[in-house]
Amino acid sequence: MNHPNSIRKYIEEALQSNQLAVLATVGDDQPHASLIAITPFEGFRQLIFATYRNTRKFQNLEHNNKVAVLIEGKNDDKSGIQNGFVITAYGRTEVLSFDANNIALNTLLCKHPDLLSFTREEDCVLISVKVEKYQVVQGIDNVVWLSVDDLDKS
């Protein structure tokens, strides 16, 4: 799994196949984890999700936009045995405008059509995680770090 092409494939498949991920934020020197409905955007360069403004996650993001997003992955080997791996995307968040970024909203709703009424709520915001690097872990001693730029080259 150490070749950038295979790692990129793991990341892209995990992003497409998973509906949910865990978002880690920090606020008031306290870590906070939230379950979010993720949608890859611009390949593996961005992850988008919707949330309410009145949540702890959003309050944390206003004070510190650095985040980690944990995504579960699965890999079937040639024998049909499923091997798990975990991907963590590290990056910075920004609030997207619903009006100016209809492509992002439409991408989110394509993957999560059940969020339509949620995204129409006045207090709802669309968040983009601009991914800087990925960590892929498969087993206790198989850990690979790659920047988004490294993945673009593969």
pLDDT computed for residue 90 by the predictor: 98
Residue 97 DSSP code: P
Cβ-proximal residues to 126 (8 Å cutoff; 6+ apart), any chain? 48, 49, 50, 95, 96, 97, 98, 101, 104, 105, 108, 119
Q: Quick check: pTM over 0.75? A: yes
pLDDT tens profile 38-50: 999 988 999 999 9
Q: Is the pLDDT of residue 75 over 80?
A: no
pLDDT at res. 43: 86
Say yes or no to pLDDT of 51 above 60: yes
Provide the pLDDT for residue 82: 47
What pLDDT is attached to residue 127?
97
Q: What is the pLDDT of residue 154?
A: 65
Q: Which domains does the chain have, with CATH numbers?
A: 4-153 (2.30.110.10)
Q: How confident is the model at residue 20 (pLDDT cuts 50, 70, 90)?
A: very high
pLDDT in tens, 89-127: 999 999 998 765 589 999 999 999 999 999 999 999 999
